[in-house]
Chain A
Amino acid sequence: MIIELQSVNKVYNLGQPNEVQALFDINLVIEENSMVCLRGASGSGKSTLLAIIGCVFPATSGRAAVAGKQLARLPDRFMTIHRRRTIGFIFQQFNILPNLTVLDNIALPLLPLGISPDERRQRAAELIERLGIGHRRDFPAGQVSGGELQRVAIARALINNQPIILADEPTAHLDTTLSHDFMGIMVELKNAGKTIVIASHDPLVTEHPDMDRIIDVRDGRIDVS
């Protein structure tokens, strides 16, 4: 298993008047090279769970291990290092810098790794071609379409060849065709050996034939199905 959560709780704003518990006693194991889906209504805690798996912030209590590393009490700095090595994150609103070119956006995670400009360009260009957005390479990201933008986001999540891909409601802004395309890419990635976790309530995603497992999230708890 590449992801293992034991009795994980997450409380936002702990000890403050606006304290919210988003996750309750989560126990979850995800096998390497599987494609799983976190399904649940809005506010159920999918994004929170994804963020904990994605080493964005630590669980409030419980044990979480991702790619062989215990995340509990890992200092922020090391959490970041672990995240960029293991996690490729595809965000719902893409989180693209609109003034940068498509290529520069995709290469962004490589800058603090000390990777030379030539190598960055080469790696990004390869992914751009693979994802079929070669004709947009030098466009400012703010000027490309939603479907293209998502491919930019996917390329960026793959740039450091991370073993785990997390996607948060990836099809929310896409039409049916583009959603199909997206799932096609995910299947390809899975076949290439990646582990994929997608949070979604879109049937196109949740009921996809290649989906290995569906995990239902309800009010911060997961149903063991």
Chain B
Amino acid sequence: MKNRAIEKHFNLLDYALSSLWRRKLKNMGIITVFAVVIFLVASFQILTSSLTETAERMLAQTPEIVIQKMSAGRQESIPLAYLDRLDGIFGIRAAVPRVWGYYFDETSGANYTVMAADRSLMPEGKNLEMAIEGDFPAAGQGEAALGREVAANLKLAGRRTFSLFRPDLSLKSFRVSGIFAESTDLLTADLIVTGLDEGRDLFAIPENLATDLLLYVANPGEISTIAKKIAARLPDTRVLTRPQIHKTYKVVFGWRSGFASICLLTALAAFAILAWDKASGLSAEEKREIGILKILGWQTADILVLRFWESLAVSGLAFLGGCTAAYLHILFLEGSLFRPVLLGWSVIHPSLKIVPVFAAGDLLLIFTLSVLPYLAATVIPAWRGSTIPPDAAIK
């Protein structure tokens, strides 16, 4: 004899699917709405994960320690003489003065980040160089490497030179040495990298000053010890360490994604309530069907299993559809719907190539927040409805 219990479940599944099919219009509607909500939440989750990962990969290349001069609680230029006062602190591999700031381009209305430091002094210059398609700007030659968005905004169109205004509105011209690779967009889209002297010239910063000092440490384990020693020697500075920068970045990014997550979860919750509402008020037709099935010898449990298969099919299809659409949206459209939310609304925002990161945890979370409530919202009322005595059907 075949296993009756297993065959019974196939029968119930079969019946569930065919009764969904009989009400296909209504069920397609539910699946579509549900899938759209899941698509929103899933795109968002995947995008957040992907961006976080990209950002972390890029941040791994930043210097271990940044020293800023502080005055009256605000940052100001730091004298190069401070470099000498670091002499004798062990573990510092390199110390590089840097000029950086924002340049507002009136023509395009965009802000660029200008970073000026001499590559020869920077141990991670090699890394930066690898991120550039072309050459790293040679110090003192009036060269610059541009982020992709900057290059687009300046409308270079093959030209190798461009000019920016000094504070006194005189023009400083640059020659393009290279363009940053697309894969680094998140950090480099709005970036102009040039030599230290060129940066000083552009912002009219005196010879003996820089914006901040970058320190490279031989042993990452010593970062905080060295940072403390520096802080003691240079009491009028703020010493930022890479772990701290990571944290700040994460907080800002996390806040944004958290905020948007809440909006989306609200949408999901609204859907759950809708589903609940729909499901808890069993229609007269559904009640009649349950009554008939019961009087024909279906157990309460059979009806629950039937309902379970129906809901699982609806929410499972919506889940698969929504997640697949989200994945494709990010793979092919690069998450264009949500990038502004996560990356800010600045005119320039990275157009980086995002490789979808499909974290099992994210999927599980979405599953827990969508399929499970839907199952509960449909099976529980059916359970209440199916415990009515079967004689209701003979009335």
Total of A-B residue pairs, C-beta within 8 Å: 79
**Interface 0/1 of B1-44, CB less than 8 Å to A:** 01111111001101100000010000000000000000000000
Which of B194-202, B242-250, B294-302 makes up part of the contact surface?
A: B294-302
A135 to chain B, nearest CB (A): 22
- Interface presence of A15 (CB below 8 A): no
Which of A29-37, A108-116, A186-194 makes up part of the contact surface?
A: A108-116
- Interface presence of A57 (CB below 8 A): yes
Q: Do A91 and B394 touch across chains, with their CB atoms under 8 A apart?
A: yes
Contact of B299 among A80, A89, A92 (CB under 8 A): A80
Which of B153-161, B270-278, B385-393 makes up part of the contact surface?
A: B385-393
B12 to chain A, nearest CB (A): 7
Residues of B within 8 A of A100 (CB): 22
Which residue on A lies nearest to B11, using beta carbons?
Answer: A111
Given contacts A112-B297, A112-B302, A114-B11, contact A57 B4 (CB under 8 A): no
Residues of B within 8 A of A81 (CB): 297
Which residue on A lies nearest to B15, using beta carbons?
Answer: A111
**Interface 0/1 of A34-68, CB less than 8 Å to B:** 00000000000001000100001100000000000
Total number of B residues with any Cβ neighbor in A under 8 Å = 29
Residues of B within 8 A of A134 (CB): none
Q: Do A115 and B7 touch across chains, with their CB atoms under 8 A apart?
A: yes
B44 to chain A, nearest CB (A): 39
Bound-state CA distance A168–B15 (Å) is: 28
Given contacts A112-B12, A114-B4, contact A84 B297 (CB under 8 A): yes
Which residue on A lies nearest to B292, using beta carbons?
Answer: A95
Residues of B within 8 A of A84 (CB): 296-297
Given contacts A47-B394, A95-B394, A111-B298, contact A57 B2 (CB under 8 A): no
Q: Do A95 and B295 touch across chains, with their CB atoms under 8 A apart?
A: yes
Q: Do A113 and B4 touch across chains, with their CB atoms under 8 A apart?
A: yes
Q: Do B11 and A108 touch across chains, with their CB atoms under 8 A apart?
A: no
* A interface list, Cβ under 8 A from B: 47, 51, 56-57, 76-77, 80-81, 83-84, 89, 91-92, 95-97, 99-100, 108-117, 156, 160, 168
6 additional A-B pairs beyond A95-B295, A112-B302, beta carbons within 8 Å, are A57-B389, A77-B300, A80-B299, A91-B295, A108-B292, A112-B8
Residues of B within 8 A of A80 (CB): 294, 297-299, 390
Q: Do A115 and B292 touch across chains, with their CB atoms under 8 A apart?
A: no
- Mind listing 15 A-B residue pairs with CB under 8 Å? A51-B391, A77-B299, A77-B300, A80-B294, A91-B295, A95-B393, A109-B296, A109-B297, A111-B12, A111-B302, A112-B302, A113-B4, A114-B7, A115-B7, A116-B7
Residues of B within 8 A of A110 (CB): 11
**Interface 0/1 of B352-392, CB less than 8 Å to A:** 00000000000000000000000000000000000001110
Which residue on B lies nearest to A47, using beta carbons?
Answer: B394
**10 interchain residue pairs of minimum CB distance:** A84-B297, A114-B4, A114-B8, A114-B7, A111-B11, A112-B302, A109-B296, A95-B292, A56-B391, A112-B298
Residues of B within 8 A of A91 (CB): 295, 393-394
Q: Do B296 and A51 touch across chains, with their CB atoms under 8 A apart?
A: no
* B interface list, Cβ under 8 A from A: 2-8, 11-12, 14-15, 22, 289, 291-300, 302, 389-391, 393-394
Residues of A within 8 A of B391 (CB): 51, 56-57
Contact of A56 among B8, B11, B299, B390 (CB under 8 A): B390
B25 to chain A, nearest CB (A): 13
Bound-state CA distance A81–B299 (Å) is: 8
Residues of A within 8 A of B12 (CB): 111-112
Q: Do B289 and A117 touch across chains, with their CB atoms under 8 A apart?
A: no
A11 to chain B, nearest CB (A): 14
Given contacts A57-B389, A111-B8, A112-B297, contact A117 B14 (CB under 8 A): yes
Residues of B within 8 A of A99 (CB): 22
Bound-state CA distance A51–B395 (Å) is: 11
Bound-state CA distance A206–B81 (Å) is: 119
Bound-state CA distance A110–B136 (Å) is: 78
Residues of A within 8 A of B14 (CB): 117
Bound-state CA distance A155–B66 (Å) is: 87
Residues of A within 8 A of B3 (CB): 114
B279 to chain A, nearest CB (A): 20
Q: Do B289 and A56 touch across chains, with their CB atoms under 8 A apart?
A: no
Bound-state CA distance A109–B299 (Å) is: 11
Q: Do B296 and A108 touch across chains, with their CB atoms under 8 A apart?
A: yes
A71 to chain B, nearest CB (A): 14
Contact of B11 among A77, A95, A115, A160 (CB under 8 A): A115
Bound-state CA distance A56–B291 (Å) is: 11
Which residue on A lies nearest to B296, using beta carbons?
Answer: A109
B336 to chain A, nearest CB (A): 43
Residues of A within 8 A of B11 (CB): 110-112, 114-115, 117
Bound-state CA distance A83–B294 (Å) is: 11
Bound-state CA distance A77–B302 (Å) is: 11
Bound-state CA distance A8–B289 (Å) is: 30
Q: Do A114 and B299 touch across chains, with their CB atoms under 8 A apart?
A: no
Most buried by A among B289, B295, B299, B391: B295
Which residue on B lies nearest to A12, using beta carbons?
Answer: B391
Bound-state CA distance A115–B302 (Å) is: 14
Which residue on B lies nearest to A93, using beta carbons?
Answer: B394
Most buried by A among B3, B7, B11, B299: B11
Bound-state CA distance A197–B5 (Å) is: 33
Which residue on A lies nearest to B289, using beta carbons?
Answer: A97
